[in-house]
Amino acid sequence: MSLAPFAVRCDVPPYRLSGTVVAALLNHRDSLAALGDAVLAPPYRGAPKAVVLAIKPRHALVAAGDALLVDDAAAELAVGASLGIVIARTACAVRAANALSHVAGYLVACDATVPHASHYRPQIRAMARDASCAFAAAVVARDAVGDAGALAVRTFVDGELAVATSSAELVRGVARLVADISDFMTLAPGDVVLAGSAPDAPRVRAGTRVAVEIECVGRLETRVALADRAAA
Amino acid sequence: MRRARVAYAGALHEAMPAGDAAIRLADGRVVADDAVVWLPPFDVGTVIALGLNYADHAKELSFAKQDEPLVFLKGPSSLVGHRGETRRPTDATFMHYECELAVVIGKPARRVSRERAIEHVAGYTIANDYAVRDYLENWYRPNLRVKSRDGATALGPWLVDASDVEWPPARSLATFVNGKQTQSGHTRDLVFDVATLIEYLSAFMTLDTGDVILTGTPEGVVDVGAGDEVVCEIEGLGRLANRIVGDERFGRAQADLRGPRT
């Protein structure tokens, strides 16, 4: 299996990340409301029933201090603040009541996607791009955070508060999310589950500074920069 | 050359074919091919899968041709080797295999043109990319609950070197359920060929050593049930066998009576 391309400090078991990152989509209470009546129309024909997920490939991950990358000066990224849930021990078909015992801790993440109107297809070109998902430098132990069910989550663009939300707004909170994923996809020690972001993620271009703060978990600072266009 | 990765007598080994129904471990031991546990034949990185990449299969599922490849990613818990087991949930009414040519990346690829794509291919193997259609929802479809299931990506038995396969690869595919052929196709009918896929993907995501592209499946998918043996075959690459097993094999038979699992 692939290991994470960079180290994140984690002072509790499993002490390191596995490199597997799975992001919950449409997991904020406002996500479907933002789509209005379109939720009931084709192609969707109704709200999602099961948890909606996307895998983040290894080159999407950005270490603390490094930049989110775009291809050109006109390109926009929607920067979504997300609580990252770090798995402590193997979780397969766990119940929500037991799920937290499989969680090592939390980290701050910023998942940047190319804005896209349709949620019908996997949209890998918008969501699996190189250098699009930034992690903070350290995992904060679950015991140190306490109840992760009502943490303030703030996104700053060039120093100005752009979005203020809370983990209380998640459709599936930490325990439910881990349980529902583990029903069909075993989570391994060091895997990270991104709990998902609010639908009104700010749109930014190269040169922008972005910061995400999650209460009791920490602060992540990153920036948007132009990618090197060379082939390899 | 073709290589497998197997577990035998307490260790992992690279193995090569050694005549009929036998393999030779790298340390010289020759053992029966059913005396080992077959693993995916390389260290698997990102699993990249194509949907609707054969015109006939797209038609079978009532989809129009795509403007760009339909691509989704599968997680590492979905991986299983040759002769592995894959769980069919009790509530499923339509679970099907998908026999696919799997392209394994060798040299990292970033913004690679289709003309140079071949330089980044380490080799090929066979994939069986299972789906449980009951769980399809129209949000980021095919959603992970359909595709990225534990044990739902069988790979193997062999990694066959790119130098042993023509470019572009031109091979027939077939699937057999309990010995009866149910699927047939040919890679010449790919909507987006291997070179195009490497160019398309590497334009926005770096393909790294061990990443694997499952290139899609032709028509002929049928429901498979617990106890069925599914064999995916690609001309010259081998035969990838898999067994469908029920929930009870995983202690899930009576969900309501299931005790707390941690």
What ipTM was predicted for this assembly? Answer: 0.96
Position A65 pLDDT exceeds 50: yes
pLDDT band at A6 (very low <50, low <70, confident <90, very high): confident
Tell me what pLDDT residue B255 has: 52
The pLDDT value given to residue B66 = 72
- What pLDDT score was predicted for residue A1? 41
Assign A3 a pLDDT band (cuts: 50, 70, 90). Answer: low
Q: Which stretches of chain B score pLDDT less than 50?
A: 256-260, 262
Q: Is the pLDDT of residue A60 over 80?
A: yes
Q: How do residues A162-176 score in pLDDT, each as one tens digit? A: 999 999 999 999 999
The distance of A125 to chain B (nearest Cα, Å) reads 6
Yes or no, beta carbons of B111 and A229 under 8 Å apart: yes
| pLDDT, tens digit, 9 for 90 and up, residues A12-44 | 999 999 999 999 999 999 999 999 999 999 999
Partner residue opposite A2 with nearest CB, options B45, B71, B204: B45
Report d(CA B236, CA B160) in Å as an integer: 9
Inter-chain Cβ pairs, chain A and chain B, closer than 8 A: 137
Q: What is the pLDDT of residues B78-118, one digit of tens each?
A: 999 999 999 999 999 999 999 999 999 999 999 999 999 99
Establish if B198 touches chain A: CB-CB under 8 angstroms.
Answer: no
Determine the average pLDDT of the residues in A197-213.
96
- Tracing tokens 């970033």 back to the chain, one arrives at B110
Residues of chain A positioned with their CB less than 8 A from the CB of B138: 43-46, 120
* pLDDT at site B258: 47
| Contact criterion met (CB < 8 Å) for B76 and A20 | yes
Predicted local distance difference test score (pLDDT) of residue B116: 98
Domains of chain B: 1-39 (2.30.30), 40-248 (3.90.850.10)
* Contact (CB, 8 A) for B128 and B216: no
Which of B42, B77, B112, B250 to probe by mutation at the A interface, max A CB count within 10 Å? Answer: B77
Question: Nearest-CA residue of chain A relative to B47?
Answer: A57
Considering the four listed CATH numbers 1.25.40.10, 3.30.420.40, 3.40.50.300, 3.90.850.10, the one that applies to the domain covering A9-226 is 3.90.850.10
Of residues B250, B231, B245, B247, the one with CA closest to residue B82: B231
What confidence score (pLDDT) does residue A200 get?
Answer: 85
What one-character-per-residue DSSP string does chain A give?
A: -PPPSS--EE-STT-S--S-EEEEES-BHHHHHHHGGGGGSTTT-S---SPEEEEE-GGGEE-TTPPEEESSTT--EEEEEEEEEEE-S-BSS--HHHHGGGEEEEEEEEEEE---S--SS--HHHHS-TT-EEE-SEEEEHHHH--GGG-EEEEEETTEEEEEEEGGGBSS-HHHHHHHHHTTS-B-TT-EEE----TTPPEE-TT-EEEEEETTTEEEEEEEEEPP----
Instruction: Measure CB to CB from residue A130 to each of B68, B73, B205 and give the nearest one.
Output: B205
pLDDT at A2: 46
